[in-house]
Amino acid sequence: MDYRNTSSIPVISRYKPEMSDKDLEDLALQLRRDVVELTFYSGTKSSHIGGELSSAEIMAVLYGGFLNLRPEEPEWPGRDILVMSKGHCSGVLYPAMAWRGYFRRDMLWNEFNRAHGLLQEHCNLHLPGIEAATGSLGMGLANGCGYAWAMKHDGEDSRRVYVLLGDGECTEGQTWEGIGLGAQLKLDNLIAIVDYNKYIISSTTYDVMDLEPFEDRWKDFNWHVQRINGHDIKALRNALETAKNISTAPGKPRVVICDTIKGKGIGFMEKDAFHWHAGHLDDALREQCLKELGL
């Protein structure tokens, strides 16, 4: 296996306190390119690449502005919390974290899915900046409820908890227990974001466990609901701005349902999303991916 100290992927985006829509679009492209490279150089030459690509804009908007963080001080008491509930898609989280300065960029090419590396395919608490272990899907929202309740209990009104969910785990019972608990505890500082690309490991959500009418289900549990195009930077920014404002719906937790495309940005993955829930990249596929992403 080839180890690298650098990557052939040029850096086209750097963090600044005020990121424009164009800046965030560049970041989403950077993340997609980094996901491809990280996947290729991983210990298994694989990742859960389809769902990583579908959530690039979501991750760009979160790390590019909405998460109040101090990467140089990962345990800063005033920080916002992100629970990466769809933890198998850590391959898009790690590039975002490296971009914000949590760790060196070259770790992406040398420690993902490698023995003794910190960047394992499921997020783990050994890596500073990770707030919850996600080895079992479906637990993330309940975990977020715990964080949000603790903030309420301690009177930390300025902090927010964001939970990024996959649609597959939204078929699981514990997720709906978390939805019920969030409403019961009136956690209006809790913001769930669903990457609704409509594919899970074995088929479409419609075939396995149809979530529709998805918006109505959340509303029936007394959540404030928005549904948007999850690849539209402006729509994401507006929705999250609305969600983080307590006056939007006092006493109600919030969810932003993001309609997305699995494998977004890579044509052959978009057309065959069923087989790209996870996948391996050889030399030819890597080159094809990077070409489609403008390299």
Q: What is the CATH number of the domain that holds 207?
A: 3.40.50.970
Q: Is the pTM of this model over 0.75?
A: yes
Cα distance between residue 110 and residue 10, in whole Å:
17
Total number of domains in the chain = 1
- Domain contains 100: yes
pLDDT of residue 76: 97
pLDDT in tens, 223-240: 999 999 999 999 999 999
Residue 16 within any structural domain of the chain: no
1 in any annotated domain: no
Which residue range forms the structural domain that includes residue 166? 21-292
Residue 8: inside a domain: no
Domain for residue 7, yes or no? no
Give the model's pLDDT for residue 26: 98
The reported pLDDT for the residue numbered 136 is 76
pLDDT computed for residue 20 by the predictor:
98
**Per-residue model confidence (pLDDT) at position 138:** 84
The span from the CA of 266 to the CA of 113, in Å, is 22
Residue spans of the chain under pLDDT 50: 1
- Alpha helices (runs of H) in 62-172, residue ranges in sequence order: 90-100, 107-110, 140-153
Instruction: Note whether residue 12 is domain-resident.
Output: no
Q: What is the pLDDT of residue 202?
A: 82
pLDDT at residue 2, as a whole number: 54
DSSP string, 73-135: STT-TT--EEEESSGGGHHHHHHHHHHHTSS-TTHHHHSBT-TT-SB-SS--TTSTT--S--S
Do the domain assignments include residue 45? yes
Q: What is the pLDDT of residue 5?
A: 67
| pLDDT of amino acid 1 | 46
pLDDT in tens, 154-186: 999 999 999 999 999 999 999 999 999 999 999
Q: How many CB atoms lie within 10 A of CB 231?
A: 20
Residue 281 gets which letter from DSSP? Answer: -
10 part of a folded domain: no
Strand partners, 204: 199
> For residue 220, what are the β-bridge partners?
none
